[in-house]
Structure 1
Amino acid sequence: MSHAMRGKELPDEEDLGLLTDLYELTMIQAYWAKGMHDTATFSLFFRKLPAHRNFMLACGQQYAAHLVTKLHFGERQIDKLRRLDMFDNDFLDWLAHFRFTGSIHALPEGTPIFPHEPLLEVEAPIAEAQLLESLLMNYVHLETVLASKASRLVLAAEGRPVVDFGMRRMHGIDAAVRGVRAYRVAGLAGTSNVLGALTHDLPANGTMAHSFIQAHDNEDDALLGFARQYPGTTLLVDTYDTVEAVKRLIAAIEREPTLDIGAIRLDSGDMGKLARQCRQLLDDAGHEHIRITASGGLDEYRIQQLLAGGAPIDGFGVGTALGAASDAPCLELAYKLTEYAGKPRLKHSPGKHSLPGRKQIYRERRSTGEFMGDHLTLRDESAPGTPLLAAIVNDGVFLPEALGSPDQARDASRDAVASLPAALRGLDSAPAYPVAISERIHERRREAEVRLELLSDG
């Protein structure tokens, strides 16, 4: 077996310092060599919503901030960097003693977020803050994209449970596990991913595959045997003839009243029509308690269509569309320097501008409780509404009291999404949610632009 095959596929916590782009390390060596140690502020945000999204659900930023406080370079990691033959020994010695000493302000997990609003801001000596770019973006991007997709499914299901079936087609095993954390925040009811369920305390849900039915010479033997093994289970009834399978199940229950079947699952065919037929059969036989669940190529649009058509479906399992966030799989996150050594900094490239300074978001409600708009301000400003960004790391120390429990994050996220204007909670594109940028931010931007003009003229 080759050395590469023997290597570990997932990084240990001690390797997180190496989970970065090379230019982060080359830049911080250059900062270090030039004696640039002043405090910098970096802001993590996006400039544009992906197609088919009216909001994003910020997720992963508080957990990523916690990871930052554990970041270090052990002897083994320093030896690996030395093999690149790009770094001075004195710089590697500095890295060997690296600990994050700065502060991080972040949104609560599961907060609806809009363009140009920071999901988090890092304030630290510039080399420390620069090092975090790739790690923070990776963690926050994945979980925000998946939580946002899951939120749409929850909204489309109108209170019916949605379960994650997406592990097998997700982009890597790390994503499959971390995704379950995002799904919990977004309000999914369960996951088929056992490791994800055990790691993030989301109920593990599952039924059976068609192969179990096919492996038996008789469909009834497969279904009834499984029901006896797992009382209250969900039985997959569409391997051959769905309606006939349900009729035989009803007859089996009459012969064996102790059979406990919790639900049947439809995975193919005209699910609306089949659900109505099966519901009628079950109700006529007095089995109103047996639920009907659906899976197989579902997304939020198909769920919405089924429910709008009156399909009596009680829950949904969603796979590829969820795990790959297939309609909007990426978010153009940016991690940009907005202040250094007390001076505003910005990027002024066409279509990629940034806003300078340390910031705060105030979210304002109507008297009805509905969100009416946000105010994006500098950190020391005040504005109507509730401030959203709060310190999660202070002087390199994680503040556990600032991090709510997973259940609190889920409940707060549910309430926040429910408070959005109704149009934003729909699946169709809606008018943009209003985000007002304060005049002082504009002043800081003009100040930075004037300084850039003077530099170019000089």
Structure 2
Amino acid sequence: MKNTETAHTTRQTLTRPALYTDYYELAMAQGYFLAGRHEETAVFDYFFRSNPFEGGYVIFAGLSDLVEILSDFRFHDDEIRYLEEEGFHPEFLDYLRDFELNLTIHAVREGEVVFPLEPVVRVEGNLVETQLLETLLLNILNFESLIATKAARLKYAAGERVVLDFGLRRAQGLGGIQASKAAVIGGVDGTSNVYAAHRHGLSASGTMAHSWIQSFDSELEAFRKFAELYPKNAVLLVDTYDTLESGLPNAIKVAEEMEERDEQLKGIRLDSGDLAYFARKSRQMLDNAGLEYVKIAASNQLDERLVKSLISQNAPIDLFGVGTRLVTGQDSPALDGVYKLSQINDEPKLKISENIEKVTLPGRKKICRYLYDDGSFYGDGIVMESEENPETIYHPYFPGRHSKIAKYQKEELLHTVIKNGASLHELPSVEECAKYANQRLGQLNPEHKRFENPHIYKVGISKELMQLRDQLTDNYKRKNQ
């Protein structure tokens, strides 16, 4: 791929990505080359089959990282030597020495709200380059979209309350960098991850650990010193010894001392026990001391359902610090995104399966989103790229279910982000992606965002696409009878 300058070159987290792949991708690429098929053109679609977390949508994330990483996609001399030791053919290795990506990628915007079966990324190029891209693309987009979706659910549960990512220590290695970025795209307000904050221009924040308090002779001394050092941003962790008998009284005492210096304690943090109970008791004690301005933060194995429960109990918590269950995507550890061939040269292709849900959609396609007059989403259509205004979309598996869409406003969601190997646009900042995700979630009706039995969003296919799929399926069956 041709190198292109962007305003965000410091964000890249993976260099020398050519070997960031599964072995069979290289084996197939070599097979295409040795068979003389490496210049044949191919089209691949990236999509997922089901929403994670038993939810109603996915926030698409990871595109900017993918585009940036691809700018350095080439095989270095030591990598060629390694592949030689692995037994790859000398002629194929000569081909890889001068290899450059010259592909074209169409994708929805980062931060877009998307749904199962939709080809949210379409990759076009020769057989070798489109095949070599598979693992890298899936690795980045599946993970970041998963975490962005989890974050969106957390922020939806929290409403106007602040949500922070505290998850780096529990993340899967360096995936914590991508997780923090994706979490902000999904809606969290900041992160404790300083590396990701620096690299991606995020808001970094944090409080203290129990070890700070334990290192002093007394809890009160620890609080006083912290408030002295950080008078504008002091948040005191009050559960090291006894939350209500020790932590809160000492925090109140320090807050009163700060007022004498014309300073204000910013907040207290609860990290154990019954958070709703301790939050109410803490609020009562703080208010009785005239400290209504002191905020209450809570952490400790939070997720969107627990946050929702705390709020339903009227727990007076102003900030939620979410760690493990955000950055690991509990309870859906992976998004089931796949990368499937849909065309070779000008011939549409599909995968046949006894399970109709695994029969893929052939050819070059695009996504049309249909909107009500107020701008909210009605449904999406997967249609052939050449189609302009289909009047009806059909359920992908039950064509008797169909919807007339001619009366609705229409948006086309796929945009060209890389053309012939070169990035066409400056990569959006994480802040821009987060704002877009928030806007689009605002256009998604509430019944699709609820946690219990979310309403299934309408995704249909055009009649032309349905007929092409059925025709190819019938042709295959006739040839193999």
Which blocks of at least 5 consecutive residues in structure 1 are unaligned?
1-9
Q: Distance in 1 between matches of 2:333 and 2:276?
A: 28
One-letter amino acid of the counterpart of residue 299, structure 1: D
Q: Distance in 1 between matches of 2:148 and 2:255?
A: 40
* Range that drifts further, 319-328 or 403-412: 403-412
> Secondary structure of the equivalent of 1:98?
coil
Distance 1:253 1:408, change over 3 A: closer
Q: How does 1:25-424 map to 2 (within 5 A)?
A: 25-36=26-37, 37-85=39-87, 87-172=88-173, 174-231=174-231, 232-244=233-245, 245-256=247-258, 257-258=260-261, 259-351=263-355, 352-383=358-389, 384-401=409-426, 403-424=427-448
One-letter amino acid of the counterpart of residue 375, structure 2: G
One-letter amino acid of the counterpart of residue 256, structure 2: E
> Secondary structure of the equivalent of 2:280?
helix
One-letter amino acid of the counterpart of residue 193, structure 2: N
Alpha carbons 1:162, 1:316 under 8 Å: kept: yes
One-letter amino acid of the counterpart of residue 354, structure 1: T
Q: Distance in 2 between matches of 1:455 and 1:398?
A: 42
One-letter amino acid of the counterpart of residue 324, structure 1: T
Cα offset, 1:260, TM superposition: 3.1
**Residues paired across the two proteins, number:** 444
User: What is the identity percentage for the equivalent residue pairs of Structure 1 and Structure 2?
Assistant: 38
TM-score of the aligned structures, taking structure 2 as reference length: 0.89
In the alignment, what sits opposite 2:395? none
Q: CA RMSD in A?
A: 1.7
Q: Distance in 1 between matches of 2:234 and 2:255?
A: 14
> Secondary structure of the equivalent of 1:93?
helix
Q: Distance in 2 between matches of 1:255 and 1:392?
A: 56
Q: Distance in 2 between matches of 1:199 and 1:102?
A: 27
Which blocks of at least 5 consecutive residues in structure 2 are unaligned?
1-11, 390-408
Distance 1:11 1:366, change over 3 A: closer
One-letter amino acid of the counterpart of residue 420, structure 2: D
One-letter amino acid of the counterpart of residue 36, structure 2: G
Q: Distance in 2 between matches of 1:391 and 1:12?
A: 23
> Secondary structure of the equivalent of 1:268?
coil
Q: Deviations over 1:300-333 (max 9, x none)?
A: 1111011111111101001111111111111111
Q: Deviations over 1:106-147 (max 9, x none)?
A: 111111111110221100011110110001000111101111
Q: Distance in 2 between matches of 1:62 and 1:208?
A: 33
Q: Deviations over 1:39-65 (max 9, x none)?
A: 110001111223422111111134313
Distance 1:241 1:98, change over 3 A: same
Q: Distance in 2 between matches of 1:270 and 1:288?
A: 22
> Secondary structure of the equivalent of 1:48?
coil
Distance 1:65 1:278, change over 3 A: same
Q: Distance in 1 between matches of 2:224 and 2:305?
A: 34
> Secondary structure of the equivalent of 1:105?
strand
